[in-house]
Structure 1
Amino acid sequence: MLTAITGINWGDEGKGRMVDLLSQEYNIVVRYQGGNNAGHTVVTPEGKFVLNLLPSGILRPDVVCVMGNGMVIDPAHLEKEIAALRAQGIQIDPSHLKISDRATICMPYHVAEDGLEEDRLSKSGNQFGSTRRGIAYSYGDKYMKKTLRMGDLLNLDQSVKDRLATIVEWKNLTMEKVYGQKPIDLEEMWAWCQKYAELFKDYICDTGAFLDKADREGQKILFEAQLGALRDIDFGIYPFTSSSNVIGSYAPIGAGIPGHKLHKSIGIMKAYSSCVGEGPFTAELAMTEEEKNALREAGHEFGAATGRPRRVGPFDVVASRYGVFCQGADELALTLLDVLDYMEEIPVVEKYLVNGEEVDRFPMGEALDNAKPVVKFLPGWHCDITTCRTWESLPQAAKDYVEYLEKAVGCKIKYVSVGAARDAYLVRE
């Protein structure tokens, strides 16, 4: 059984929470793309955990976690993340975590480039809202075939050092002549590689062979995406996207088993809209600043990776229907329904107004940039639902809201989250 859990919108939908919930039914959890430029926050009886690189299944001791070839991995960040989890009592060892030998290494100069370019763009107000973690530069170098992979750390011979020297020479053309920075020091980069080779050598392996064998043996594999459909490099709000394919159909490829096929795609969407970073976000135009501040505070909408305040707005039917289409979702989980407890009536972006015409198909380019929200208001329930554990125990207005969203996006909502606690959810059979 191969199942993907993916984001329907701009990311930050609560995928980590759902992976943690569903991972109890799976043997293996795999991250198949992205890097440490986003985060998943998971609350368990043991505490609150913020994960950037590691799959959310890492919190379950009987689940094997895999970091796939589609990822870009900053070993320095990974070291700190593992140390933080161990300090919270989470056991992590090579039997519990496996890192693809084909995953791209995010080097220190990738992080430096990211920050320098974002600083340059910010002077003219054209910044992308990058997390400055070096992700785009790692992926760019991957496709230019000018980077190292985690497997290179297993055999740091002269040929690898010669390749790194060629890369550093090329990078210094940019660092010195474009940004006016000091040159990258080859020996420092080589020592950095040696440090993390020693630290992670027992974790790095052919994860494709591991997953292929596991699938053939009938083990259940759960794929965990970072961000959401609207941040996909091909199908998202380009160029304000991530630098990888976040859609579920890429999961077997980014995991290392490209010939295998998904059996199920579970999409995650919030009961309202949120967005980190720049780019078109029609939903935020449907609320006043006071209303957005109230929603942001109610939902604690601050980025897990950066701490930045997220942009917020009502649930966006147009964007969510498109996300369901991109993800090929068979069923959905609706998260953070309890955040709306305080609202007397709940706004929903039902359509977009583009060039004077109402549309329900998600547009691209200039049409999206200029789109205005067409808002519908639904009755609120205005009571605390965080203790609800069955569909029947929800107030009628909350059930009506869920059913409206389900019909609007055209996909069954099976799971509904009503609080931050691990058991604060209900299942609609």
Structure 2
Amino acid sequence: MLTAITGINWGDEGKGRMVDLLSEDYDIVVRYQGGNNAGHTVINEKGKFVLNLLPSGILREDVVNVMGNGVVIDLKHLNEEMGRLIDAGIKITPENLKISDRAIICMPYHVQQDCLEEERLKDAKYGSTRRGIAPVYGDKYMKKGIRMGDLLDSEEALRAKIEGITEWKNLSIEKGYGAEKIDAEEMFNWIKEYGFKLRDHICDTGLFIDNAAKEGKNIMFEAQLGALRDIDFGIYPFTSSSSTIAAYAPIGSGVPNRKLDCTVGIMKAYSTCVGEGPFTAELFGEEAEHLRKAGNEYGAATGRPRRVGGFDVLASRYGVRMQGADEIALTKLDVLSYMDEIPVCTGYAVNGEKLDEFPIGEKLEKAEPVYEYVKGWHEDISGCRKMEDLPEAAREYVKYIEEAVGCKIKYVSVGAAREEYIVVPD
């Protein structure tokens, strides 16, 4: 069974929590794109964990975790993240964490370049997390990247590669932005300090996954962010720099010869967004602040307050289509329990015209939300474990969303802890 767990909206939907939950039935969990620019928060019996780079399956001792070729890896950040988990009693070894030899390394100069460009853009900035993600993906496609497999080559070959790339990079860092010149020796020493200790984890992960699939292993592919942050199909240019959709999972994992059996789309019971760009359903003022506090909506990677809004029908229906979702996990339904009436963005209006489909470009920038309010339930639902345990209004809300996006809701999260969820019967 090959299953992708993907975000339907702008990211921060609760994918890590669902991967941690569903990984009980899987042998391997693979991260297939993105870097340390977003985070997954997982709460289980071992504690609360924020994972930026590591697959969420790392919290299960019997699961093998893979960082695929589509991931970009900040070596220093990965070492620190692994260290925090090891200190918390989580086992991490070359047997349960494998890193693709084709994954690109996010270097300190990528972070520097990211910050310099955001500062240059000023008010026109893209809302980058300033962690080097756009520059490192840019270098990957410019064929100027340093890959994890390079750490297994001779030091002479690695040093030569770093010297050549830093000479090229200084044309923009030093002579373009006027910043301090990158020192190749410093970059080599940085890689030695943080990269060499990871060498036992580096391997041909595509071959490992393909062999596992031949053996009938259950493999889960974990995405970062959501469909609306995809480089091709998201709210460009306010997107990530990688492909966040399920169709990319086999490619970013090293097994483009494999096909997915199932895609589970993760979707919140309301809308959230971190960073810049159009967010039509956004709420403001006290209504937004109450929702933000109720859902603890602050970025796992950055700590930034998330923008919040009611459930967005157009954006979610579009996200379901882009992800090819077979079923939905609806998260944070419990957050809405304080509301007497629940806001739902049922459509967009542009110059008086109501749109039926999610737009791009100027139409998206100008879109105004069309809001309706549905009845709330105003009671604690965190103890519910069956659909019939939910108040009638909560059941009706789940049914309303399911029909609006055109995809079956299979799981309903009613709390942050691992066991606080409902499986919806067929």
Answer whether contact 1:317 1:348 (CA < 8 A) is retained: yes
Residue of structure 2 in register with 1:145 after alignment: 143
Residue of structure 1 in register with 2:94 after alignment: 94
| Alpha-carbon distance between aligned partners in 2 of 1:40 and 1:57, rounded to the nearest angstrom | 11
| Alpha-carbon distance between aligned partners in 2 of 1:115 and 1:414, rounded to the nearest angstrom | 41
- Does structure 1 residue 356 correspond to structure 2 residue 356? no
Residue of structure 2 in register with 1:164 after alignment: 162
Answer whether contact 1:153 1:196 (CA < 8 A) is retained: no
| Alpha-carbon distance between aligned partners in 1 of 2:44 and 2:5, rounded to the nearest angstrom | 19
Amino acid at match of 1:133: R
Secondary structure in 2 aligned to 1:423? coil
- Does structure 1 residue 247 correspond to structure 2 residue 214? no
Shift, 1:158, TM fit? 2.4
- Does structure 1 residue 73 correspond to structure 2 residue 99? no
- Does structure 1 residue 366 correspond to structure 2 residue 362? yes
| Alpha-carbon distance between aligned partners in 2 of 1:156 and 1:420, rounded to the nearest angstrom | 47
Answer whether contact 2:213 2:219 (CA < 8 A) is retained: yes
| Alpha-carbon distance between aligned partners in 2 of 1:219 and 1:79, rounded to the nearest angstrom | 28
| Alpha-carbon distance between aligned partners in 1 of 2:360 and 2:121, rounded to the nearest angstrom | 23
Within-5 A mapping of 1:287-302:
287-302=283-298
| Alpha-carbon distance between aligned partners in 2 of 1:114 and 1:54, rounded to the nearest angstrom | 22
Residues 188-246 of structure 1: CA distance to partner in whole angstroms, max 9, x if unpaired?
A: 11112222342011000000000000000000000000000000000000000000000
| Alpha-carbon distance between aligned partners in 1 of 2:80 and 2:135, rounded to the nearest angstrom | 21
| Alpha-carbon distance between aligned partners in 2 of 1:375 and 1:356, rounded to the nearest angstrom | 14
- Does structure 1 residue 427 correspond to structure 2 residue 416? no
Residues 308-333 of structure 1: CA distance to partner in whole angstroms, max 9, x if unpaired?
A: 00000000000000000000000000
Within-5 A mapping of 1:108-147:
108-122=108-122, 125-147=123-145
Secondary structure in 1 aligned to 2:124? coil
Answer whether contact 2:75 2:191 (CA < 8 A) is retained: no
Shift, 1:182, TM fit? 1.4
Residue of structure 1 in register with 2:214 after alignment: 216
TM-score normalised over the length of structure 1: 0.98
Q: Which moved more, 1:249-258 or 1:170-179?
A: 170-179
Q: Which moved more, 1:158-167 or 1:340-349?
A: 158-167
Residue of structure 1 in register with 2:57 after alignment: 57
Amino acid at match of 2:38: A
Shift, 1:281, TM fit? 0.2
Shift, 1:427, TM fit? 0.4
Amino acid at match of 1:274: T
Residue of structure 1 in register with 2:319 after alignment: 323
Q: Which moved more, 1:153-162 or 1:91-100?
A: 153-162
| Alpha-carbon distance between aligned partners in 1 of 2:245 and 2:356, rounded to the nearest angstrom | 21
Select the residue among 391, 395, 399 that pairs with 1:395. Answer: 391
Q: Which moved more, 1:354-363 or 1:344-353?
A: 354-363
Answer whether contact 1:154 1:197 (CA < 8 A) is retained: no
Amino acid at match of 2:313: V
Select the residue among 194, 198, 202 that pairs with 2:200. Answer: 202
Shift, 1:160, TM fit? 2.8
Secondary structure in 2 aligned to 1:378? strand
Secondary structure in 2 aligned to 1:177? coil
Residues 40-59 of structure 1: CA distance to partner in whole angstroms, max 9, x if unpaired?
A: 00001111000000000000
Q: Which moved more, 1:354-363 or 1:375-384?
A: 354-363
Residues 137-186 of structure 1: CA distance to partner in whole angstroms, max 9, x if unpaired?
A: 11000000011100000113423322211110111111212222211111
Q: Runs (4+) of structure 1 moved beyond 6 Å?
A: none
Secondary structure in 2 aligned to 1:202? helix
Secondary structure in 1 aligned to 2:402? helix
Amino acid at match of 1:255: S
Residues 48-75 of structure 1: CA distance to partner in whole angstroms, max 9, x if unpaired?
A: 0000000000000000000000010011
TM-score normalised over the length of structure 2: 0.99
| Alpha-carbon distance between aligned partners in 2 of 1:156 and 1:26, rounded to the nearest angstrom | 37
Amino acid at match of 1:129: G
- Does structure 1 residue 347 correspond to structure 2 residue 343? yes
Answer whether contact 1:2 1:263 (CA < 8 A) is retained: yes
What is the percentage of aligned positions where both structures have the same residue? 67
Answer whether contact 1:415 1:425 (CA < 8 A) is retained: yes
Answer whether contact 2:75 2:195 (CA < 8 A) is retained: no
| Alpha-carbon distance between aligned partners in 1 of 2:64 and 2:317, rounded to the nearest angstrom | 33
Q: How many residues align?
A: 425
Amino acid at match of 2:406: G
| Alpha-carbon distance between aligned partners in 2 of 1:173 and 1:250, rounded to the nearest angstrom | 33
- Does structure 1 residue 416 correspond to structure 2 residue 412? yes
Residue of structure 2 in register with 1:381 after alignment: 377
Q: For the aligned residues, what is the CA RMSD?
A: 0.8
Amino acid at match of 2:382: T
